[in-house]
């Protein structure tokens, strides 16, 4: 929204749209807005985020002396660190949250060595992920070679040879196999039926001796309908207007 007035008008419009709808609006205070356990901070043209805890939060979590397997205690540490990492937009905010977590887990009697080692391993894993991501981004797109698929044994041999070649030229070469279509393997032996043998069609009749025509539809085979037309208005037209018997009139029909 451009300003507070426009936001207030939009809120009024929403609440007036239906009597059962009741929206509220929260405004920032000192450039900060609280949203779903996260503190959104306006920093010039960008938005920073960090973890937010209510003033009534007591830091009540799993106590270290609880009768729970040790793996769940370490998992709790990693969960809280991962939450802090996801909600912190900068390493500075993440470091501040780690200091608060140290205080919380210290009150819960977690050993300092366990907390420190877990934080260190978590940070090392994230730094390693960032470095791997940067290397992957810099890596060139793989070279793909399209090859016909013969059998699985041949495919494995080709894949191994291309892997050796990739290491030699320092490039990623990947094979892409294509298989023959079923229609290429199985040929249709019988001829397709002629048009007059098709069914459920819209057809037309055009007299070859004048401009008379007819359009019809049949759910049966067309050749059956053509036989019936020899005794219909089409057959009568040929007898009365052209003095000929409608014996071979199939060539005057076509499917639309």
pLDDT at 128: 82
User: Does pLDDT of 136 surpass 60?
Assistant: no
As given in the structure block, the two tokens for residue 44 are: 């010039």
pLDDT at 104: 93
- 78 in Cβ contact with 31 (< 8 Å): no
Residues 6+ apart with CB under 8 A from 88: 49, 50, 51, 94, 97
Residue-wise pLDDT for 93-123, tens only, equals: 999 999 999 999 999 999 999 999 999 999 9
As given in the structure block, the two tokens for residue 141 are: 């797109």
Residue-wise pLDDT for 13-42, tens only, equals: 988 888 888 998 888 888 888 888 889 998
| 199, β-bridge pairs | 221
- 140 in Cβ contact with 166 (< 8 Å): no
pLDDT at 183: 59
In 3D space, the residue among 42, 104, 37 whose CA is nearest the CA of residue 77 turns out to be 104
């Amino acid at each position: 929204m451009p300003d507070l007035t426009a936001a207030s008008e939009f809120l009024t419009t929403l609440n007036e749209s239906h009597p059962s709808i009741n929206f509220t609006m929260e405004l920032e205070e000192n450039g900060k807005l609280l949203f779903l356990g996260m503190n959104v901070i306006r920093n010039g043209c960008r938005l920073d985020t960090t973890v937010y805890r209510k003033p009534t939060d007591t830091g009540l979590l799993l106590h270290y002396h609880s009768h729970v397997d040790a793996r769940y205690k370490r998992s709790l540490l990693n969960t809280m660190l991962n939450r802090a990492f996801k909600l912190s937009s900068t390493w500075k905010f993440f470091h501040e949250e780690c200091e608060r977590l140290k205080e919380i887990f210290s009150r819960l009697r977690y050993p300092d060595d366990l907390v420190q080692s877990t934080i260190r391993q978590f940070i090392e894993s994230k730094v390693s992920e960032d470095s791997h991501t940067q290397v992957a981004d810099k890596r060139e797109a793989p070279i793909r070679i399209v090859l016909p698929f013969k059998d699985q044994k041949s495919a494995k041999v080709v894949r191994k040879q291309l892997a050796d070649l990739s290491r030699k030229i320092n490039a990623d070469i990947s094979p892409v196999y294509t298989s023959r279509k079923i229609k290429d393997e199985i040929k249709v032996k019988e001829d397709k039926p002629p048009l007059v043998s098709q069914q459920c069609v819209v057809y037309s009749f055009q007299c070859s001796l004048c401009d008379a025509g007819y359009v019809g539809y049949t759910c049966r085979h067309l050749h059956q309908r053509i036989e019936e037309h020899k005794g219909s208005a089409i057959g009568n037209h040929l007898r009365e207007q052209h003095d000929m018997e409608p014996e071979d009139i199939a060539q005057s029909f076509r499917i639309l």
